[in-house]
Structure 1
Amino acid sequence: MKKRVTGIGGIFFKSKDPAASKNWYSRHLGLNTDQWGSTFWWKDAEGKDCSTQWSPMSEDTQYYKPSEKQFMINYRVENLEELLETLKAEGVEVVGEIESYDYGKFGWIMDPEGNKIELWEPNDKAFLE
């Protein structure tokens, strides 16, 4: 079987004031923030450039629905379509439809605790161009 999760793609959390949160983390922890948050660059075991996104989001965001949690974790995966089919066959709840962008494909599942999990088949090169 192919790898499923290959790394953390992003950490997203609700914030009363996302701009103030980004400023605080920039000032006190040195995060290089922009409108989306902060991107951390690293290399995988094969030496490929990879990214992980950190993003505070508005506390009224609907992006985590149907989860009511204050956060969502994005996992980097290989072959999203195949993985979602496998997970569905294993009885995992798949949420919504796959969405494709120049920086990768996204799909969502729910864990047993009601956490929405974002799965991302990345195209990191789109960020480097």
Structure 2
Amino acid sequence: MENSQNEPDNTTPKVTGVGGIFFFMENPAETKDWYAKNLGLEINDWGSASFESRNIDKPDQIESTQWCPFKKDDPYFSPSKKEFMVNYRVQNIEGLLEKLKANGVTVLDDIETYEYGKFVHIMDTEGNKIELWEPVY
């Protein structure tokens, strides 16, 4: 029998939340300083602010959402011409990538693995680059 969406051992390939919001700014350092000074954002060693929350289905699991301005026209957003990129937290990134390829979605790279998770980039139908991230918990 298939697991429901709320069961902790569910491995359905899907998005589970927003992992980050990245956007262009003319002067990212000045922008980060402004947000720190005026809104209290704490900028971490990677140049972003991290917002932590708990997974409602796994209360012991802490998740984070990253907020980070990039220098206008940073190549990390390529080939998108948009001024933002959203990072989505996912589960079963390999299964999701298979599904996306089967659906004809443009996949920009192979899954890369780091100590904090797996990443892959895709394009949506409007030319927005999307970063998919399966975190390590």
Q: TM-score, normalised by structure 1?
A: 0.91
d(CA) in 1 for partners of 2:14 and 2:77? 22
Find the partner of 2:54 among 43, 47, 59. Answer: 43
Q: TM-score, normalised by structure 2?
A: 0.86
SS at match of 1:25: helix
d(CA) in 1 for partners of 2:124 and 2:73? 21
Q: 1:53 — aligned with what?
A: 66
Q: 2:42 — aligned with what?
A: 32
Write out the 4+ residue segments of structure 1 that deviate beyond 3 Å after TM superposition. none
Residue identity opposite 1:70 in structure 2? E
> Structure 1 regions of 5+ residues with no counterpart?
125-129
Cα deviation 1:65-101 (Å, max 9, x = unaligned) = 1101101000000011110111110111111111110
Q: 2:126 — aligned with what?
A: 113
SS at match of 1:11: strand
What is the Cα deviation at residue 3 of structure 1? 4.8
Q: 1:14 — aligned with what?
A: 24
Task: Spell out the pairing of 1:26-105 with structure 2 (5 A cutoff).
Answer: 26-35=36-45, 36-45=47-56, 46-47=58-59, 48-105=61-118
Q: 2:136 — aligned with what?
A: 123
SS at match of 2:111: strand
d(CA) in 2 for partners of 1:3 and 1:65? 25
Larger Rg: 2
- RMSD across aligned C-alpha pairs, in angstroms? 1.2
| Higher relative strand content | 1
